[in-house]
Chain A
Amino acid sequence: QVQLVQSGAEVKKPGASVNVSCKPSGYIFPGYYIHWVRQAPGQGLEWMGWINPDSGGIKYAQNFQGRVTMTRDTSISTFYMELRRLKSDDTAIYYCATDTWNEWHFDIWGRGTLVTVSS
């Protein structure tokens, strides 16, 4: 089965930006949206938004509007999530996931990228 391979852990200072990448290990149908979800320490899962791999169309959760950008590089089949103006409570594991049914559930997940925001 296809896996989603994410970039490694990051440590950032407050106010900085972080860019997390997500690359399928094999072919994923271009119509399967890539979603981003995060989990802060001791907290629950939080949906951040999705990108349409085919068109590049995006939808962001309201909580992240203005701070997040999701992009893709079709030449290397890689997806990116940039979060700006980082705060300490952005410390979390960031996951990419795909919905191969396009029914708002995630059947393939990356292993997560830990982003630590600390001065």
Chain B
Amino acid sequence: QSALTQPPSASGSPGQSVTISCTGTSSDVGSYNYVSWYQLHPGKAPKLMIFGVSKRPSGVPDRFSGSKSDNTASLTVSGLQAEDEADYYCASYAGSKLLFGGGTKLTVL
């Protein structure tokens, strides 16, 4: 059982937007702005998509955005594209340790 809760699956058609939630507690997501999101494609290394709740690393399309409200962080993918189909994991600092969510499989219909 993961410390952060994500929906196991999400889906959308090309061009649509989809939001993935990541629910923690006041000891992790709610207390720190060190929330990050990772994209995992099978057989490839994880890729950082969002850090510091809402910052995008260089090279990540601006279709990806992050936000946080209280103990829940969210990743929104706008203008869905086929290559966005992947597993997405959130992570949060929790005071000298890092917690991950259980992952969400995003399907582009």
* Chain A residues within CB distance 8 Å of chain B: 35, 37, 39, 44-47, 59, 61-62, 95, 97, 101, 103-107, 109-112
A107 with B57: in contact, given A45-B100, A45-B103 (CB under 8 Å)?
A: yes
Chain B facing A: main interface SS: strand
A45 vs B103: C-alpha distance when bound (angstroms): 8
- Scan B16-56; emit 1 where CB is below 8 A from any A CB, else 0: 00000000000000000010101010001111100110000
Question: Size band of the B side of the interface?
Answer: 20 to 34
Cβ-defined contact, B97 with A61, below 8 A: yes
Is residue B69 contacting chain A, with contact meaning CB distance below 8 A?
Answer: no
Chain A residues with CB under 8 A of B91: 45, 47, 104-105
- Contact present for B57 and A95 (CB under 8 Å): no
| A46-B100 CB under 8 A given contacts A101-B51, A103-B51, A105-B51 | yes
Q: How far is the CB of B16 from chain A (nearest CB, A)?
A: 25
B2 nearest in chain A by CB position: A44
With an 8 A cutoff between CB atoms, is B82 at the interface?
Answer: no
